[in-house]
Amino acid sequence: MKKILDEITEVVSKAFKECGYDEKYGKVTVSNRPDLCEFQCNGAMACAKEAHKAPFMIADEIKAVLDKEAMFETVDSVKPGFLNIKMADVYMANYMKTMLTEEHFGVENAKNPRTIVIDYGGANVAKPLHVGHLRPAIIGESIKRILRYTGNTVYGDVHLGDWGLQIGLIITELKRRKPELPYFDESFTGEYPSEPPFTLADLEEIYPAASAESKKNAEYKKEALEITNELQNGHRAYTAILKHILTLSHADLKKNYGNLNVIFDLWKGESDAQPYIPDMIEDMKKRGIAEESDGALIVKVAKDDDKREIPPCIIQKSDGAALYATTDLGTIIMRREEQNPDAIIYVVDKRQELHFVQVFRTTRKAGLVRDDVELTHIGFGTMNGKDGKPFKTRDGGVMRLENMISDIADEMYKKITENHTVDPEEAKKTAKIVGLAALKYGDLSNQASKDYVFDMDRFTSFEGNTGPYLLYSIVRIKSILAKYAETGKNAADYEVLAPKNKSEKELMLALANFQGMIENAAEEYAPHKVCAYIYELANKFNHFYHETKIMSEEDEKVQGSYIRMLELTKGVMETCIDLLGFEAPERM
Ligand code: ARG
């Protein structure tokens, strides 16, 4: 269905035309003075110069035309030349009716649907997920859902770190500890065991031990680098060990991301880029795109008009090893071959901005994808503790993500059980759902690029701009709808009527902004816009709820209309939280 703003703009533009002005002046926006009007048009001001007329005279003319339109309750011409618009009640009721019948509440599919890959996991295998992995996961997941909702084909790719020195280190340590394994017997030609020679817990212990050792032992580090290089050149035994690491890590990561409601379509890693790398490098060398520098291979990507220095992109180290940029470039080729996307969006820490500038420029220079393929890095800020420094555990360590999730669920459990008696089992389940919402909403409601403070008390509060407040509002609607159902009446028998009071009209206006908001959030990859919207909607609903007797309303038709409004509100709110990646419990 048409967005409400478009529908109004169309009518106002027609009026401008009818009065002999350019219709472009008919652009309407949501009012920034809701105390005065609902929508406004400032076109008369912009048009005055060209028309050699005072703006208020133009506004008066337009008003006279618009006064004939049934869609408006009032159109005021206000000096020096504003048009202040209020919508007719019947128009709003009809708009609600249509929203209720349309798929996606009237949100239309993108005019040019695209195929999009979102790269938003970035966890490293053999290392537990920690709080640093929280932001990419939840921001990326939400962007994926928003883009899908608006009709695009979207692939979420976890793009695991599984190819660098970290794997070489693990193999080195394993070799030291268990030299008797067939993987380390150069003469071994048989099949390697199908069972991994370690557990996940072993890996989580082996990696930090190896990393620490390599920092103080040059010999060890050298061996790890050699092993990494051999692995990257296809060493059979090391590849078999990597496979074991991946099998264990994938299972564990799937579980942990799953607990966050984060679901990837592709479980690729840096290692999957390997098959594309040798040819890519050969080709870049041949065409003179890459050049040698101190034994390494680099691509110069600086431009004359750069405001800061952009160093060359190093695509091969002097020892022949691939680097972070190399695997990202190989991955772009892989995606071109496999998904052939129109856009690749990277949700990665903003501190990696330079890396992406280098990778994107190299991609363009080498023509790895069509020129019209969008490459975007959405750089997110840091989650800080209350001290303004990157969030740490109480003893200063890096917090495991699962601990953070359970801490917040524990806090929610306390709050839920504080004031009333609830079945502990149910309360536990509810606390998990609400806790996740608290965490995700606390994050997503900030513009992604900004740093923010993780504030447990604020995030878990039932009041204010928080996840629990939103869920509480949804649960409130669910409970009214359940009560209504108990009366044996069926809301489907009733229609939305003209609003009975100001709060109901405001609720209608907020609902009518849904389509425009979603379109905007999709265009700007901006989950925080969904957050701002749903918070406003929840406020409008709660206001309406406090002003209106719903269950005691005696006029069946009026009551039925209220219930339809609640159904619509619930539908839109549930859609919004689903796009943010969380859900509401039945009760709380
Ligand atoms: N594994 C990387 C890290 O820990 C993040 C990967 C982000 N994605 C990418 N395509 N570079 O920093």
Q: DSSP secondary structure string, 410-461?
A: HHHHHHHHHSS---HHHHHHHHHHHHHHHHHHHHHTS-TTS-EE--HHHHT-
| Cα gap 378→374, rounded to integer Å | 12
Which residue among 344, 352, 353 is best mutated to probe the pocket of ligand 1, counting the most ligand atoms within 8 A of its Cβ? 352
Closest approach atom of ligand 1 to CA 331? 10
DSSP summary character for residue 19: T
β-strands 115-119, 291-293 pairing:
unpaired
Which residue among 159, 165, 272 is best mutated to probe the pocket of ligand 1, counting the most ligand atoms within 8 A of its Cβ? 159
| Cα gap 31→5, rounded to integer Å | 11
368 Cβ contact partners less than 8 Å away, ≥ 6 residues apart: 280, 329, 332, 333, 336, 362
Pick from 246, 225, 99, 236: which is nearest to 168 by CA? 225
* Residue 246 identity (one-letter amino acid): L
pLDDT in the model for residue 164:
86
Closest approach atom of ligand 1 to CA 123? 1
pLDDT in the model for residue 397:
82
In angstroms, what CA-CA distances link 308 with 51, 166, 351, 353, 449?
Answer: 46, 32, 16, 13, 20
β-strands 374-380, 72-78 pairing:
unpaired
| 324 alpha carbon – ligand 1 mean position (Å) | 8
Q: Whose CA is nearest to atom 8 of ligand 1?
A: 122
| 357 alpha carbon – ligand 1 mean position (Å) | 14
443 Cβ contact partners less than 8 Å away, ≥ 6 residues apart: 134, 135, 138, 139, 383, 452
How would DSSP label each residue in 346-395? EEEEGGGHHHHHHHHHHHHHHT-S-TT-EEEEEEE-PEE-TTSSB---TT
| 25 alpha carbon – ligand 1 mean position (Å) | 47
3-class DSSP state of 115: strand
121 Cβ contact partners less than 8 Å away, ≥ 6 residues apart: 133, 136, 137, 140, 157, 158, 159, 160, 253, 257, 264
Which residue among 326, 346, 349 is best mutated to probe the pocket of ligand 1, counting the most ligand atoms within 8 A of its Cβ? 346
| Cα gap 499→305, rounded to integer Å | 57
Tokens of 528: 């925080």
| 261 alpha carbon – ligand 1 mean position (Å) | 20
Q: Whose CA is nearest to atom 6 of ligand 1?
A: 122
In this structure, the number of other CB atoms found within 10 A of the CB of residue 22 comes to 14
Q: Which residue has the tokens 């939103």?
A: 470
Q: Whose CA is nearest to atom 4 of ligand 1?
A: 122
| 360 alpha carbon – ligand 1 mean position (Å) | 15
Taken in order 165, 168, 170, 176, the sign of the CA dihedral is negative
Distance, C-alpha 262 to centroid of its chain: 10
* Count of residues in the chain: 588
Taken in order 292, 298, 302, 308, the sign of the CA dihedral is negative
Which residue among 166, 348, 360, 401 is best mutated to probe the pocket of ligand 1, counting the most ligand atoms within 8 A of its Cβ? 348
| 426 alpha carbon – ligand 1 mean position (Å) | 38
pLDDT by 10s per residue, the chain, length 588: 999 999 999 999 999 999 999 999 999 999 989 999 999 999 999 999 999 999 999 999 999 999 999 999 999 999 999 999 999 999 999 999 999 999 999 999 999 999 999 999 999 998 888 888 999 999 999 999 999 999 999 999 999 999 889 999 999 999 999 999 999 999 999 999 999 999 999 999 999 999 999 999 999 999 999 999 999 889 999 999 999 999 999 999 999 999 999 999 999 999 999 999 999 999 999 999 999 999 999 999 999 999 999 999 999 999 888 899 999 999 999 999 999 999 999 999 999 999 999 999 999 999 999 999 999 999 999 999 988 888 888 788 888 999 999 999 999 999 999 877 889 999 999 999 999 999 999 999 999 999 999 999 999 999 999 999 999 999 999 999 999 999 999 999 999 999 999 999 999 999 999 999 999 999 999 999 999 999 999 999 999 999 999 999 999 999 999 999 999 999 999 999 999 999 999 988
Q: Of all helices (H) and strands (E), which one includes residue 556?
A: helix 556-580
239 close to 183: Cβ distance less than 8 angstroms: no
Pocket of ligand 1 (CB under 6 A): 119, 122, 124, 159, 161, 328, 346, 348
**Burial (0-12, 13-18, 19+ Cβ within 10 Å), 32:** exposed
Q: Whose CA is nearest to atom 5 of ligand 1?
A: 122
**How wide is the angle at C-alpha 190 spanned by C-alphas 186 and 196, nearest 5°?**
85
DSSP summary character for residue 204: H
The pTM score is: 0.95
| 348 alpha carbon – ligand 1 mean position (Å) | 7
473 close to 573: Cβ distance less than 8 angstroms: yes
Taken in order 126, 127, 129, 135, the sign of the CA dihedral is negative
518 close to 484: Cβ distance less than 8 angstroms: no
| Cα gap 207→172, rounded to integer Å | 10
| Cα gap 261→405, rounded to integer Å | 12
| Cα gap 299→314, rounded to integer Å | 6
Q: Label residues 247-285 b or e (16+ Cβ within 10 Å = b).
A: ebbbebbeebbeebbbebebbbbbbbbbebbeebbeebe
| 161 alpha carbon – ligand 1 mean position (Å) | 6
First to last CA, the chain: 35
